[in-house]
A and B are shown apart, each in its own frame.
Chain A
Amino acid sequence: MRRQIPLAITFICGVVMAIQFFIPHQISLKIYRGALDWQMIVGGFVLVLGIGSLVTHHTDKLKHQREGWGYSLVTLLGLALMAIAGLFFGEMRIGKPFMEIFIYAQNPIQATMFSLLAFFIASAAYRAFRARSFVATLLLLAAIIVMIGRVPIGAKIWSPIRDISTWLLDYPNMVAKRAIGLGVGLGMISTALKIILGIERSYLGGGK
């Protein structure tokens, strides 16, 4: 029963929602709106579950003083601080404690982490872009043209590079991305069908 009931719910929901899409009737719309409501409610619970897991994981690490427990302490303190600032010290507007912590702590921390990407991309591009084969050479040339052609200095150096980089993005890039997109789309349809029909059951956990 522990497997049959979820499989039945999945099958019924999947089939009903697929059929509903093609029937613009009041009853069908009511079902659709109800499903949307439920989806958002379940989504809200996912947040609660996420926070619960975060707290349990880090409390456990702290309690047993496992490696990196100091980071867990910072995580829990940060979580508590933001929750207290948000719940007890006014709404989320500029000038209020929650927004001040957000602007002067979280903002620079997250922005700094992401900006490191520029350094890693530069280092990786230098080491990985080698014209070892015809295909690698094509990739290398395309990368150089787009990198230079997309910034203003590119047109100053050699004006046609701007149009060449636009052409690369509009045609070869778009064609490749569309092909990937179509493949992904077909894969999503087949996976959805497999889940609805109970062929794919890995989401239930416990093996295949």
Chain B
Amino acid sequence: MNIYEKMMSIDRRILFLLIALSVIIPLLKPLLLPVYVTKEVRNLYGFIDNLNPGDVAFLSLDYDPSTMAECHPMALGILRHCFRKGIKVIVTSLARPEGLGTAEMALTQASQEYQKKNGEDYVFLGYKPVPGAVLLAMGENFRLAFPNDFYGTSIDSIPMMEGLKNYEDIKIVVTVSGSAVIDSWVIYAGGRYGVPIGAGVTAVMATDYYKYLQSGQLVGLLGGLKGAAEYEKLIEYPDMATKGMDGQNMAHLLVVFFIIIGNIGYFLGKKAKASKGIGG
């Protein structure tokens, strides 16, 4: 194996080790490079920031532990922003049953930080299968899909839910999602009932949703850990996402470095073969 072939076929175990180090080292020794804010994140932040205390936002935490690294900081950022501004929040978790646990974790943490009370400042409705049907039912009446909240309390006896019937009574729906349930929110809640929708999605999903930004079907979009870090910067509460950005910086650089090495090997190898008159 010549040098060019070696450049094209580095042992994947070396690659894995370097990727692990590129994530771990910056976590232990942060570089804290400044995070710039994109317009899609600023738009969502701006929409929520312009709401008045007492307004109601709907936050659907449609992710589970597998996508928690990216989605959980977004959920915390939006909850902190709402609680800090005195915005009341209705929370659901509609993608998977496991999402109930992550939603409960986010709600518990953020509500404790701002001393917010269940039933007065926020309501956790929980999970119901078939998200499409649940979203449509909530468009008619929240009670149709959720007669009780997640803890078994009748919605009609929850003070915060008094006078709240359906999407017409809330200012924005934000879905933090690791699945395609975001499409259902845009199509059913946004399209049929006209409620403004904002979203936070994993980085690999983000490119799928720029079409909704351009058409105005989404008011804003947080994409991956970077989106969460941008939101943390806007609410001036640097946390997990901001810490994770250094690892992401290094990992991205490393991947690009290896892609370049592989291509140099490919081109020089091809040139060497051509000059020897081998292959075609």
Contacts and interface: CB of A to CB of B under 8 A. Distances in A.
Interface string B41-79: 000000000000000000000001111110000000000
B266 A130 contact: yes
Given A129-B262, A152-B249, A153-B253, A170 B137 contact: no
A43 B104 contact: no
Interface stretch (A55-63, A72-80, A98-106, A189-197): A98-106
Contacts, number: 164
Nearest to B151: A91
Q: Is the interface of A mostly helix, strand, loop or mixed?
A: helix
Contact of A119 (B19, B35, B211): B19
Contacts of A36: 133, 136-137, 140, 144-145
A135 interface: no
A46 B16 contact: no
A94 B130 contact: no
Contacts of B36: 152, 155, 162
Nearest to B224: A150
Interface residues of A, number: 61
Nearest to A29: B140
Given A130-B262, A148-B256, A111 B65 contact: yes
B101 A107 contact: yes
Given A93-B151, A151-B248, 18 more contacts: A32-B140, A40-B128, A92-B150, A99-B104, A108-B65, A110-B98, A111-B66, A114-B66, A115-B69, A119-B20, A126-B262, A131-B266, A143-B259, A144-B256, A152-B34, A169-B210, A174-B214, A177-B211
28 contacts: A29-B140, A40-B129, A43-B129, A91-B151, A92-B104, A94-B105, A99-B104, A102-B98, A107-B101, A110-B65, A111-B68, A122-B16, A123-B15, A130-B266, A144-B256, A148-B253, A148-B256, A150-B252, A151-B245, A152-B34, A152-B245, A153-B250, A155-B36, A169-B207, A173-B207, A173-B210, A177-B207, A181-B211
Across the A-B interface, the 8 shortest Cβ-Cβ residue pairs: A43-B130, A39-B133, A110-B65, A43-B129, A114-B66, A102-B101, A152-B33, A153-B249
